[in-house]
Structure 1
Amino acid sequence: MKPSTLKLAALTTLALAGTAHAGEVKYMLWDNLQLPAYQQCAADFQKANPGTTIKITQVGWDDYWTSISTGMVSGTAPDVFTDHLAKYPEFARNNQLVDLAPLIAKDKVDTKQYRDGLYDIWGRDGKQYGLPKDWDTIGFIVNLDMAKKAGVSLADLQNMTWNPKDGGTFEQVVRKLTLDRSGKNATDPKFNPKSVLQYGYQTPPGGGNTGSMGQTEWSYFAVPQGFKFQDAPWNSTFHYDSPAVASTWQYLAGLPAKGLSAPMQMVKGSSADAMFVTRRVAMIPQGSWMVSFFQSNAKFPTAWVPLPKGASGQRASMINGLGDSIWAGSKVKDEAWKWVKYLGSADCQSKVASFGVVFPAIKGLAEKAQAVQKGKGVDTSAFLTMAQNTFLPPVADHSSQIDAIMQSAWESVMTGKAAAEPTLKAANAKVNAVK
């Protein structure tokens, strides 16, 4: 889960109380939208733990992992940091994370309190490298003014289907939402795909993990067609050469030629999010962590709707969950563990839920966050609908090498430089050769 490419803050540091001392725990996260919630958790924690100070640093996604990695080498990494499933395997492999398993057992932390699957995915061979903090799914956000003018109802949007041959009712909706500069939509034979004023749909250009995970870009189209990343977490054999992936990538790559999406080269200079808030596109995919961003930046009526059903008749969304990890080089491991344990507790996660920015990992608190969001005028039930049929992201060693291979393949296909099927076969062979 990544913040918007429209950065609201590049770097923010909050020293919440006191000055640096032996009891200071440095904590780093990347999402500025979640910063107030964790500032409150830190303030509450400090009241209950006199002598311990939580110093929070927020660094935008693009610089975050470089900061963590270089800090581990130089000895200046944060004691605790928000970790990602695509990143932690390499930290763990290099012995840069504290094994939390004995601490969890000693303090009898209830690991069953978390949403199913979120705890186990942070462990391997009896060791545990993070405590779950939240979860997210994907939905589509739609400009309701554009939908109304196109004659597309909310029911139409909530019940879309998709297949790679003709795009299903998803493409029918997208065609109605697409307008050329003479005002014709893409259902009109006279529609000009080379002179588009308003695109119906936009695939995000993606960045890190796009080719290998496709959380917001492509996985939810491929999985209902029968695709599985790997047979089980940590399995080193991948299935990116699946026909379901090839047909999905080829379909998405073909949307610009139809005039239904902007060419990927154009979007890379901006973002799908920016196109949406500036009314250049009617519908985009995004994650539940971005609800507050669009509430603040989209100055028109919007709706979040579930992803389309595939050939199986099912919808499917990746469910990603962040965790908090402790750096093995920390000089304040005892205090760091107390902080991580608190971050994973009902006390902190209930406070996070009250801010309505993300869905906490503890069972039942997502509904609390949803109620807060509804009170702000945003219906986020689509994300809970998607949470009924989810799949986990791939988790494996050498994830950065795998992602580099798959990112190159994705960009080649999406920019029209190569066909999906041979590109994916070659990329999958390279991925499975990584050791």
Structure 2
Amino acid sequence: MRSREQLRPIQWAAPVLATALVLSACGGNSGDSGNSGNSGNSGKGASPSASGSGGASGAKTKVTFMQWGTQDEVNQTKELLKKFNEKYPDIEVEVASKDWETYWTAITAQAASQSLPDVFKMDEAYLDKYAKLGAMKDLTELMSAKSFDASDFEPNVLKKLQSDGKQYALPRDANTIVMYYNKKLFADPKTNPSGAPVPTGMMNWDDLIAIAKKMTLDKSGKTAEDPAFNKSGVSQWGLVMDAAGSADSVLESQLWSNGAKLVNDDRSFAMNTPEAMEVLTKFSGFITKENAVPNFGQSQTLSKDPFLALSTGKVAIAFGGSWNASEYKIAGIDFEAILPPKFKEEKTVVQETGYAMSPSTKNEDAAWTLMNWLSGPEGQIALAEQGQSVPANKKAADAYLAKDEGFDKQVFIESQKYAIPVPFFDGKEKLLWDIIPQKLSNPMSGKGDIAKAVEEIQKAYGK
């Protein structure tokens, strides 16, 4: 799973694609496109005969499947498919993959030429855009007809893969944003001279920042609580967070935590309320008044990706994605994961990928059987046993937690309950990844007026 900080808006030929989809017949997937997707449910409601059995001829039904990823990730998918074929030997799955950038170019072109793979992997950030262009089959009626068990998922996990209330993909994984702390720094009197307690999940922000101040040290060992603290010579930071640069993974959920929103249900701008301004002002104060959080420039010196700041060994507490745990281990950090702090209510973010179906597939039954299995208990348990992703299906939680990795993995499962129900939509990625970071980073660091920056963000967003 890549962090959202690593994603970049994909290049589009939307008018060409839209025209091609309108003019093309909806009848046929060529079956040899070489593309792939990556999901499904338990197979509930799909019999071997409905799944594309070859019948008397003994011929197998071929399903094409495409994903992005490394060769290791492709190999993991193929291992999953071996288990799928133990149950459905009459369905042959042809897997293809591309790197992240090339993948979206291929999906766009194949959607226009009606040659999409039967099943293909979809990122939540681009689901709405492709749904609007007619590049994915609306699964809503099919899920009902096939008795898809929606209760296996947290409601907001399913909602993240919807557009205008319709389901366009089934969940593959549910990687979450949590908070981590460096256990070694808290245990060592040299790096914790004030004896600060370790943070706990769901703390309020005032309590957390009090701990962060005790854990922020200058080069002479004074904490940020000390009047003589030298904020120009910090050797250890109590908390690293980049609210502006991590608008989708940190800021938006904390707005919700305080009863605010980034955008309204009608997609109009909503970050100009008193509740939203309270969040921005408090976060700015952590940098400019409390001296417990680095400003943008200082954060970039530590790590270009704020989610990797904990890996430096110079940070006590930081936000991070569930996928970052392996990177902290590689860096030799002894850490623990907890639920993020809150203003009024606990809220966090789930970043999902899912499995979509070509609207012109000739193999709908077999494609559905594949998706249904991959997204259901059997496929999700197999995915969990690989240990590479946090499963979205609640019935796979025990399999995921069975492998002890030295920290509380339960937080990744529990945090799905608090996911904000905010699917991406066309234009929102620009707001999150371009406009807010550009307009808000300096004001949040004390270089500019926050209220004016919010006005500029709204003007640039245009809604």
TM-score relative to the length of structure 1: 0.78
Report matched runs for 1:22-37 at 5 Å. 23=62, 25-30=64-69, 37=76
2:204 corresponds to which residue?
161
2:57 corresponds to which residue?
none
2:443 equivalent to 1:413: yes
Report matched runs for 1:91-240 at 5 Å. 91-124=130-163, 127-149=166-188, 150=192, 151-154=195-198, 156-158=199-201, 160-162=203-205, 168-204=206-242, 210-211=246-247, 214-215=248-249, 217-230=250-263, 232=265, 235-240=266-271
1:251 corresponds to which residue?
282
Unaligned runs of 5+ in 2: 8-34, 37-59
2:353 corresponds to which residue?
322
2:304 equivalent to 1:270: yes
2:90 equivalent to 1:55: no
Report matched runs for 1:18-97 at 5 Å. 23=62, 25-30=64-69, 37-47=76-86, 48-50=88-90, 52-57=92-97, 59-60=99-100, 65=104, 68-69=107-108, 72=111, 79-97=118-136
| Conserved? CA contact 2:162–2:423, under 8 Å | no
| Conserved? CA contact 2:174–2:416, under 8 Å | no
- Classify the secondary structure of the residue corresponding to 1:201: strand
- Classify the secondary structure of the residue corresponding to 1:354: helix
2:331 equivalent to 1:298: yes
The code of the aligned residue for 2:374 comes to L
TM-score relative to the length of structure 2: 0.74
Distance 1:32 1:244 in 2: 46
The alpha carbon displacement at 1:419 in A equals 2.2
The code of the aligned residue for 2:197 comes to S
2:458 equivalent to 1:428: yes
Distance 2:315 2:409 in 1: 21
| Conserved? CA contact 1:402–1:431, under 8 Å | yes
Change (3 A) 1:242 1:152: same
1:165 corresponds to which residue?
none
2:398 equivalent to 1:358: no
Distance 2:414 2:392 in 1: 16
| Conserved? CA contact 1:141–1:286, under 8 Å | yes
Distance 1:174 1:361 in 2: 32
- Classify the secondary structure of the residue corresponding to 1:91: helix
Distance 2:461 2:62 in 1: 44
| Conserved? CA contact 2:67–2:97, under 8 Å | yes
What is the aligned length? 403
1:285 corresponds to which residue?
319
The code of the aligned residue for 2:180 comes to I
The code of the aligned residue for 2:400 comes to A
The alpha carbon displacement at 1:66 in A equals 5.4
The alpha carbon displacement at 1:367 in A equals 3.9
Distance 1:344 1:134 in 2: 9
The alpha carbon displacement at 1:145 in A equals 0.9
The alpha carbon displacement at 1:26 in A equals 3.2
| Conserved? CA contact 2:152–2:395, under 8 Å | no
CA RMSD for the aligned pairs?
3.6
Q: 1:309 aligns with which of 315, 321, 342?
A: 342
2:13 corresponds to which residue?
none
Distance 2:126 2:164 in 1: 18
The alpha carbon displacement at 1:3 in A equals 3.6
| Conserved? CA contact 2:311–2:327, under 8 Å | no
- Classify the secondary structure of the residue corresponding to 1:285: strand
The code of the aligned residue for 1:178 comes to T
Question: Does 121-130 or 192-201 show the bigger shift?
Answer: 121-130
Question: Does 190-199 or 251-260 show the bigger shift?
Answer: 251-260
Unaligned runs of 5+ in 1: 8-12, 15-20, 163-167
Question: Does 141-150 or 353-362 show the bigger shift?
Answer: 353-362
The alpha carbon displacement at 1:93 in A equals 0.8
Distance 1:128 1:221 in 2: 26
Distance 1:390 1:400 in 2: 18
2:293 equivalent to 1:261: yes
- Classify the secondary structure of the residue corresponding to 2:407: coil
Question: Does 67-76 or 314-323 show the bigger shift?
Answer: 67-76
The alpha carbon displacement at 1:112 in A equals 3.2
Distance 2:429 2:419 in 1: 24
Change (3 A) 1:169 1:190: same
The code of the aligned residue for 2:399 comes to K
Q: Which has the larger radius of gyration?
A: 2
